[in-house]
Amino acid sequence: MAIGRYTNLVGCRHTARKLLQRAYRLAPPKSRHAVLLEFSKLEYFALHLPVSIGLLNFGVLSFPSEWKLLLERIQQLVLSGRYLDALRRAGFDLMLTANNHILDRRDKGLRRTVKTIESRGLPWVGAYADAAQRDSIMPRIVDIGGYRVAFLNYTYGTNGIEIQGDVVVDYIDRDQMAADVAEAREKGAEIIVAAVHWGEEYQLLSNRWQRSLADYLTDLGVDLIIGGHPHVIQPMEIRHSEKHDKDVFLCYSLGNFVSAMRTDDTRGGALARVVIDRDEKGKAVVKSAGYRLVYVLPPDGQSTSYRVIPEEDTMIPASMADKRRRFETNARRIFDRHNVSVPLDTLTMRDYLSRMILKQMP
């Protein structure tokens, strides 16, 4: 089963350039010098710092007040529902919506996001139009190959933006997590997956807070803990829970899947494959796990799209070879040094694709 993070905002240097180009076209002639100034700032910072959507925030205040609101609206990059259609065609089965950008367009943007997902017939967890909707959905339990799997999703925050009305975001709250895990077990979940938006951006190792929360979720009886938000990979492990006498899969961060970020470590990520089986008593358990690296190729002269390719794919432009090598070297070094019982996956991409095709057949 593939899980995707769906939000109403995305940021990168490429899109930031487009925003300022659009702002220049929309600005009154007397104000266009301010846009050019911000563009020069963008180019400087893009060459010296990791770029995120927050990079544009410093520039808003320098624009004339008569169209500052217009630029603020331009900064809010809303994804078309076509992206969701593309994710579904690619094989994603469930969307995670608890992340730090889910309130970027305030309550209205959150409601639009979940409404769009719902209109496509896809399940989701993490953010809801109101408490009644959350109660009707949670716990989200999905049948996967005869296993009843519950999905939970939490975020550390929403960039300081507060909820204005009735919408619900599942923030990291240990009491709420404990209640959700207990309810999932009560309603028949055999495997519980907690997807957590946490950690420090661009750091290749987990921090103390992540490790503490991972220990807490393990003690609650969660079977898979899958992290995101740092935009780079972080270690994975199979750990044994003495309290529950079972193995637990933990990944602190899978890194980026599709991204236009340009630093070495943000140009790709990892796929994790976790094998679930039944023990001699028929209990569902985590049996094993493996990973493989993926890399993002930016648009070139022959394509206008970003492409995700597996590590073993050697057909890449010569201009990207060194960048890809640096990403893979860094990622492999982290996994080799810090992974625990999660080796490089031996399943070939052909086998991955054939299984995906079989799954999508009626």
Query: DSSP per residue over 53-94, as a string?
Result: GGGGGGGGGGS-HHHHHHHHHHHS-PPPHHHHHHHHHHTEEE
What's the pLDDT score for residue 35?
47
What's the pLDDT score for residue 240?
98
Among 41-45, 77-81, 260-264, 321-325, the least confident range: 41-45
Cα separation, 158 vs 92, in Å, equals 24
Residue in the block written with tokens 């637990």 = 248
- The strand pair at 246-254 and 233-241 is best described as antiparallel
Other Cβ atoms less than 10 A from the Cβ of 279: the count is 10
Among 66-75, 118-127, 157-166, 256-265, the least confident range: 66-75
Q: Which residues contact 184 (CB under 8 A, 6 or more apart)?
A: 139, 141, 150, 152, 192
What's the pLDDT score for residue 228?
95
What's the pLDDT score for residue 353?
64
161-181 mean pLDDT = 97
pLDDT band at 133 (very low <50, low <70, confident <90, very high): very high
User: Above 50 in pLDDT, residue 280?
Assistant: yes
User: Above 60 in pLDDT, residue 260?
Assistant: yes
User: SS3 letters for 224-279?
Assistant: EEEEECCCCEEEEEEEEECCCCEEEEEEEEEECCCCCCCCHHHCEEEEEEEEEEEC
CA nearest to 31, candidates 57, 67, 55: 67
pLDDT band at 23 (very low <50, low <70, confident <90, very high): low
Is residue 77 within 8 Å of 53, Cβ to Cβ? yes
Give the N- to C-terminal CA distance of the chain in Å, as an integer.
16
pLDDT tens digits along 41-73: 433 333 333 322 222 222 333 344 444 444 444
Residue type at 310 in one-letter notation: P
Peptide bond into 299 cis (omega under 30): no
279: region left, alpha or beta (phi > 0 left; psi from -120 to 50 alpha) = beta
Tell me the pTM: 0.80
DSSP conformation class of 30: G
What's the pLDDT score for residue 167?
98
Joined together, the tokens standing for residue 92 give: 């994603």
